[in-house]
A and B are shown apart, each in its own frame.
Chain A
Amino acid sequence: MVSEPRMAVDLGGIRMKNPVNTASGTFGYGWQFEGFFDVSLLGAITTKGCSAVPWDGNPAPRLAEVDSGILNSVGLQNPGIPAFVEQAGEYLQGLRDRGCQVICQVAGHSLGEYARAVELYDELAPFASGLEINISCPNVSQGGAAMGATPQAAAEVMRAVRDRTKLPLVVKMAPHDVSEIARALEAEGADALSLINTIPAMAIDVRSRRSRLSRPTAGMSGAAIHPIAVRMVWEAHKAVGLPLVGIGGVRTGEDAAELILAGATSVAVGTANLTDPSSAPRILAELTDWVRDQGVADVNDLIGAVEC
């Protein structure tokens, strides 16, 4: 009899029973998926980004479908951290108690807003296993991707938030210059990195000659960006010793396995949650099969194990 492989991983102090996580913004606050599967099967979920005060987000339309992907321009609509805790806190505490880690995403327009948001989570969200600092949203005018565009800017955000909490901090990175920015974040005390955020992209309705979204550009996700994510995770893994969350077009266990071989400790399912809401537990099952088929006893032995 073949014994079950060990699937538990340690994401910078966030102890996950398996590597499967969800990409922020595609998984609501988790409870929306309980009608499709037992969310506590997952190693972690990452909740929609919240800021200290409510953000309206961008006007409609916020979504366009393109070949093998989608463009979104949601713009981090959220009710603010206190309202988030009120709406979802009880559920998320229960989820944590059921063995699934809860990573809460932090949004801000400025260093001060990031710091305040981290303080609020630290004070109001005992269910949080860790925080994901989003310095790479392409859909907000101030802050967002600009906060993580250079190693210096990314380091400044880390300095602003690092001492506000003892929770593990994951930093969500933009899809460019990942090696340099990853090194800067490691130097400032990040516990883990998640990559990639959506890729800035554009889709035009040629009849009306207008953008298909309410803003000229938007963030692209889905199957088309998967090979780019694999490459960038591989680069970040070579650049730093931090554990990584691999994100980008994961639809199958094989997609997840690629990210793990490239260097990811955890793998987050994103756009696939929208098209097949029960994809995350299927991907976990397929990933477990792959680890077993590789003949290893522990998934950790496969992290970064690509042979080049």
Chain B
Amino acid sequence: MIPSSGVGLHEFEVVSNEEVATSTWRLVLRAPALAGSIRPGQFMNLEVPGDPSHPLRIPLSFASADAVAGTVDLVYAVVGEGTERLSHMAPGQRSTAVGPSGHGWRLPESVPVRVLLVAGGVGAPPIVAAAGMLAGAGVPFDAVLGAQTASRLWGEERLSSLGAGTVLVTTDDGSRGIKGFTTDAMSRLLGERDYGLVMSCGPQPMMAGVARLARSAGIACQVSTERMMGCGFGACNSCNVTMAAGGYRSCCSDGPVFDAEELAW
């Protein structure tokens, strides 16, 4: 028998590609097979045409997928040459995506009473996908959403419309919500309600703080990691994450979602 990772090459068409917050873009793709098979927390690796001298694909997590319409909704930050090129893709343009890649969020067998979602910056899209999963499973959840400044904030409305009990917004400069870090808001919610699981995605130092708080509160925690990637499907060993038990695993094929306890922080 031939083992399979389930990852394949899919053609997609850009439906829309618009800036929704400062340097933050929303891209809707039509790719029916991918839309029907990708699970929350998984990602895809996009070929972005226009520069043959930079052919590496761009790995992007998604916020939601509509199997009926055959579309996938992605939100990404323009941070470099590749994502800048991606922001110039126009509706109707076609390219390819490799996916669905990696292992996504996991709902434990004994469903937690309440889940706390913590997203920072560009970590918001997979947290919105997690919220969609929880809403579908009927698990109540709250969310903390952090950004540097109000103009870079994305995801608040999506989290609310998916039924989040409370959404606490934090900004580094206080231009919106609580002035401070997501961990400050997380501490506050942990003091108010009982949670059975934390799911987090954001910059590494933020997730380290989230993992520490969850651990000291005795709550299970899943984190979605990000690395510079080569293939995106477990063939090149370029996107290593360091494990608590020693050694490395691949962000792309063993993750991107890991139990926080498994990782060396």
Query: Which of A57-65, A172-180, A258-266 forms part of the interface with chain B?
Result: A57-65
Does B238 contact A32, Cβ atoms closer than 8 Å? no
Q: How far is the CB of A207 from chain B (nearest CB, A)?
A: 12
Interface assignment of B53: CB less than 8 Å from any CB of chain A? yes
Across the interface, which residues of B come within 8 angstroms of A70, CB to CB?
56, 230
What's the Cα separation between A68 and B227 when bound, in Å? 21
Interface assignment of B189: CB less than 8 Å from any CB of chain A? no
Q: Which residue of B lies closest to A270 (CB)?
A: B236
Across the interface, which residues of A come within 8 angstroms of B8, CB to CB?
35-36
Interface assignment of A121: CB less than 8 Å from any CB of chain B? no
Name the one of B233, B238, B248 contacting A63, with C-beta atoms under 8 angstroms.
Answer: B238
Q: Which residue of B lies closest to A63 (CB)?
A: B238
What's the Cα separation between A33 and B240 when bound, in Å? 20
Query: Which of A20-28, A111-119, A233-241 forms part of the interface with chain B?
Result: A20-28
Does A67 contact B234, Cβ atoms closer than 8 Å? no
Does B240 contact A35, Cβ atoms closer than 8 Å? no
What's the Cα separation between A31 and B253 when bound, in Å? 13
A-B CB contacts (within 8 Å), total count: 105
Interface of A is mostly: loop
Interface assignment of B103: CB less than 8 Å from any CB of chain A? no
Q: Which residue of B lies closest to A223 (CB)?
A: B53
Q: How far is the CB of B204 from chain A (nearest CB, A)?
A: 10
Does A61 contact B228, Cβ atoms closer than 8 Å? yes
Interface assignment of B242: CB less than 8 Å from any CB of chain A? yes
Binary flags per residue of B18-61, CB closer than 8 Å to A gives 1, else 0 = 00000000000000000000000000000100000111110000
Q: How far is the CB of A219 from chain B (nearest CB, A)?
A: 12
Name the one of B3, B228, B230 contacting A91, with C-beta atoms under 8 angstroms.
Answer: B3
Interface assignment of A278: CB less than 8 Å from any CB of chain B? yes
Interface assignment of A301: CB less than 8 Å from any CB of chain B? no
What's the Cα separation between A91 and B2 when bound, in Å? 6
What's the Cα separation between A78 and B253 when bound, in Å? 15
Interface of B is mostly: loop
Contact residues of A between 77 and 112, Cβ < 8 Å to B? 77, 90-91, 94
Does B234 contact A57, Cβ atoms closer than 8 Å? no
What's the Cα separation between A34 and B248 when bound, in Å? 24
Contact residues of B between 198 and 251, Cβ < 8 Å to A? 227-231, 233-242, 246-248
Does A274 contact B240, Cβ atoms closer than 8 Å? no
Name the one of B2, B235, B246 contacting A94, with C-beta atoms under 8 angstroms.
Answer: B2
Interface assignment of B9: CB less than 8 Å from any CB of chain A? yes
Q: How far is the CB of A96 from chain B (nearest CB, A)?
A: 13
Does B236 contact A74, Cβ atoms closer than 8 Å? yes
Does A72 contact B235, Cβ atoms closer than 8 Å? no
Does A273 contact B235, Cβ atoms closer than 8 Å? yes
Across the interface, which residues of A come within 8 angstroms of B5, CB to CB?
32, 35
What's the Cα separation between A281 and B233 when bound, in Å? 18
Does A60 contact B235, Cβ atoms closer than 8 Å? no
Known: A63-B228, A63-B239, A64-B228. A34 touches B57 (CB 8 A): no
What's the Cα separation between A63 and B228 when bound, in Å? 7
Does B9 contact A28, Cβ atoms closer than 8 Å? no
Across the interface, which residues of A come within 8 angstroms of B2, CB to CB?
31, 34, 91, 94
Does B236 contact A28, Cβ atoms closer than 8 Å? yes
Known: A32-B5, A35-B4, A275-B55. A60 touches B234 (CB 8 A): no
Name the one of A26, A27, A34, A57 contacting B4, with C-beta atoms under 8 angstroms.
Answer: A34
Across the interface, which residues of A come within 8 angstroms of B86, CB to CB?
none
Interface assignment of A5: CB less than 8 Å from any CB of chain B? no
Does B236 contact A274, Cβ atoms closer than 8 Å? yes
Q: How far is the CB of A244 from chain B (nearest CB, A)?
A: 24
What's the Cα separation between A26 and B53 when bound, in Å? 19
Q: How far is the CB of A6 from chain B (nearest CB, A)?
A: 28
What's the Cα separation between A31 and B100 when bound, in Å? 16
Q: Which residue of A lies closest to B82 (CB)?
A: A65
Name the one of A28, A62, A68 contacting B235, with C-beta atoms under 8 angstroms.
Answer: A28
Does B4 contact A65, Cβ atoms closer than 8 Å? no
What's the Cα separation between A47 and B7 when bound, in Å? 19
Does A77 contact B240, Cβ atoms closer than 8 Å? yes
Q: Closest 7 interchain pairs by CB? A: A28-B235, A63-B238, A275-B55, A274-B231, A32-B235, A68-B53, A274-B230
Give 18 A-B pairs besides A26-B235, A35-B233, A62-B239 with Cβ atoms closer than 8 angstroms: A27-B235, A31-B2, A31-B3, A32-B5, A32-B233, A34-B2, A36-B8, A36-B9, A56-B247, A57-B240, A60-B241, A62-B237, A63-B236, A63-B238, A70-B230, A273-B231, A277-B9, A277-B98
21 A-B residue pairs with Cβ-Cβ distance under 8 Å, sorted by A, are A25-B236, A26-B231, A26-B236, A28-B234, A31-B4, A32-B234, A34-B2, A35-B6, A57-B248, A59-B240, A62-B237, A62-B239, A65-B56, A67-B54, A72-B230, A94-B2, A273-B231, A274-B235, A275-B55, A275-B57, A276-B55
Which residues from chain B sit less than 8 Å from chain A, CB to CB? 1-9, 47, 53-57, 98, 227-231, 233-242, 246-248, 253
